[in-house]
Amino acid sequence: MTRFTYLLSILSVLSAVASYDLVHDYSGQTFFDGWDFYGNWDNLTLGDVWWLDEQDAFSQGLAQINSAGRAVLRVDNATDVAYNQKRNSIRVTTQASYGIGSLWIIDLVHIPYGCSVWPAFWTKGPLWPNDGEIDIIEAVNVMPINQMALHTTPGCFHPGAGDVETGNPIQADLDCSQAPGCVVQETKPNSYNTGLAAAGGGVWATQFDVSGVFIWFWSRPDVPASIASATNTSSITDISQWGLPSASYPATSCNITEFFTAQQLVLDITLCGDWAGIPPVYDPTCASQGSTGLCYNDNVVGPGSPKYDEAYFEINYIRAYTTGGPVSPISTPTSMPGSGYNVPGTTTTTSVPTTSASYTPPSPADRNVGQVSWMLPLVGVGLGAVLVL
């Protein structure tokens, strides 16, 4: 098959779905309905944060609806953190799990950034890693661009550079089960950092389909009319004019029904940890910003302002749509009474954090040593997706 024929086949797949019906709108005063707060330290990526439970998140103002009616999730920038302690932050996970045949759209005006800051908007199955992971928004420190990735069990591959996407894959034909995942870097401007905020934000759309996983990004001036004109009750009736996605993972190289089950949406912000904090990633842009050159010492410890004044999500909405197609054939755990809800094309799970009986903070030396050996040869290209649950 020629590249041109292959491209036409992908475009025909993307336009094959005539309409997506809205199944959940997370926006306004009810944005936080249907999310679970993590309520534990970051035992997943070894970040120097404590992800608050729901009560503390709202009482401390780290989760709120602002005067513009937008949802805000932020890192604590008001507390003077003592050495060997963690800074408070937020991680939330949807109670609903959205099956294959879904479309997710996030519209936001601000993404967290700054030295030590590691934000993400991603999805996961209930039994990680067997159920797959999709990283839609993920970057660290003062990177200028966003990057996207899949994480799966062995056998799922990215097809290679330039065939089906506008983004830049960091390595062609990499099995998505490898620790970095199948990473594609955004090439459009203003996908992260000050550029996104200056442009008035942007929109990401992710198609989770039997034909593949496809992720689009548009800066605010370029948002398609079919999205800009959509309301919190309307369908998305035409995606054929969206053009090539930023990242494309077609089923021809990754069988979606084999490697993914229904997915929960996750928003989180951690600090330092196994990507933002390791010296090969942190040092080039941030080590000179503090007195010690160490991520934890120069950022997490001490006053939170102005260091974390930009470390927040500000979200207009997140919308989940479905074609009414099937969910993954792998069943999800039964939800507890009152823990969630079911919507067409979705299943429901209870989000349960992985916890330890007690927490012993890593030593200061451990915090600032690169702990992930696979990262070291790849940091020059900005790679940093890590194993997360």
What is the tens place of the pLDDT at every residue in 4-31?
444 444 544 554 555 899 999 999 999 9
Instruction: Look at residue 180 in the predicted model and tell me its pLDDT.
Output: 84
Is 388 contained in some domain? no
Query: What secondary structure, in 3-state letters, does the chain show?
Result: CCHHHHHHHHHHHHCCCCCEEEEEEEEHHHCCCCEEECCEECCCCCCCEEECCHHHHHHCCCEEECCCCCEEEECCCCCCECCCCCEEECEEEECEEECCCEEEEEEEEECCCCCCEEEEEEEECCCCCCCCEEEEEECCCCCCCCEEEEECCCCCECCCCCCCCCCEECCCCCECCCCCCEEEECCCCCCCHHHHHHCCCEEEEEEEECCEEEEEEEEHHHCCHHHHCCCCCCCECCCCCCCCCCEEEECCCCCHHHHCCCEEEEEEEEECHHHHCCHHHHHHHHHHHCCCCCHHHHHHCECCCCCCCCCEEEEEEEEEEECCCCCCCCCCCCCCCCCCCCCCCEEECCCCCCCCCCCCCCCHHHHCCCCCHHHHHHHHHCCCCCCCC
- pLDDT over 90 at 208, yes or no: yes
Closest alpha carbon to 372 in 12, 39, 46, 41: 46
- pLDDT over 60 at 362, yes or no: no
d(CA 24, CA 346): 10
Instruction: Look at residue 17 in the predicted model and tell me its pLDDT.
Output: 55
Instruction: Look at residue 25 in the predicted model and tell me its pLDDT.
Output: 98
Is 66 contained in some domain? yes
Listed range (16-30, 64-78, 92-106) with the worst mean pLDDT = 16-30
- pLDDT over 60 at 112, yes or no: yes
Instruction: Look at residue 371 in the predicted model and tell me its pLDDT.
Output: 38
d(CA 248, CA 9): 13
d(CA 209, CA 193): 30
Is 65 contained in some domain? yes
Given the residues 54, 138, 186, 258, the one annotated as active site: 138
Instruction: Look at residue 339 in the predicted model and tell me its pLDDT.
Output: 26
d(CA 150, CA 364): 32
Instruction: Look at residue 248 in the predicted model and tell me its pLDDT.
Output: 96
Instruction: Look at residue 179 in the predicted model and tell me its pLDDT.
Output: 83
- pLDDT over 50 at 359, yes or no: no
d(CA 180, CA 182): 7
- pLDDT over 70 at 381, yes or no: no
As a whole number, mean pLDDT of residues 184-194 equals 97
Is 116 contained in some domain? yes
- Burial zone of 246 (CB within 10 Å; 0-12 exposed, 13-18 middle, 19+ buried): buried
- pLDDT over 50 at 131, yes or no: yes
pTM of the model: 0.84
Confidence band (pLDDT; 50, 70, 90) for 298? Answer: very high
10 Å Cβ neighbour count for 336?
Answer: 11
d(CA 121, CA 265): 7
Is 386 contained in some domain? no
Listed range (276-280, 304-308, 348-352) with the worst mean pLDDT = 348-352
- pLDDT over 90 at 284, yes or no: yes
Confidence band (pLDDT; 50, 70, 90) for 104? Answer: very high
Q: What does the pLDDT look like over 140-182, one tens digit per residue?
A: 999 999 999 999 999 999 987 666 899 999 887 789 999 889 9
Is 374 contained in some domain? yes
For this structure, is 133 an active site residue? yes
Contact indicator for 374, 171 with CB cutoff of 8 Å: no
Is 67 contained in some domain? yes
- pLDDT over 50 at 324, yes or no: yes
Listed range (124-133, 236-245, 294-303, 347-356) with the worst mean pLDDT = 347-356
d(CA 254, CA 250): 6
Encoding tokens for residue 51? 């992800």
d(CA 331, CA 92): 22
Find the CATH number of the domain harbouring 99.
Answer: 2.60.120.200
Contact indicator for 286, 115 with CB cutoff of 8 Å: yes
Closest alpha carbon to 206 in 193, 218, 194: 218
Is 330 contained in some domain? yes
Listed range (108-117, 159-168, 183-192) with the worst mean pLDDT = 159-168
d(CA 323, CA 21): 6
In the beta sheet, which residues pair with residue 63?
A: 73
As a whole number, mean pLDDT of residues 366-386 equals 37
Residue 111 belongs to what domain range?
A: 3-381
Encoding tokens for residue 344? 């067409």
Taking CA 74 as the corner, what is the angle to CA 70 and CA 78, rounded to the nearest 5 degrees?
A: 120
Q: How many domains does the chain have?
A: 1
- Choose between 191 and 375: higher pLDDT: 191
Instruction: Look at residue 159 in the predicted model and tell me its pLDDT.
Output: 86
For this structure, is 138 an active site residue? yes
Instruction: Look at residue 163 in the predicted model and tell me its pLDDT.
Output: 62
Q: What does the pLDDT look like over 235-258, one tens digit per residue?
A: 998 898 999 999 999 999 999 999
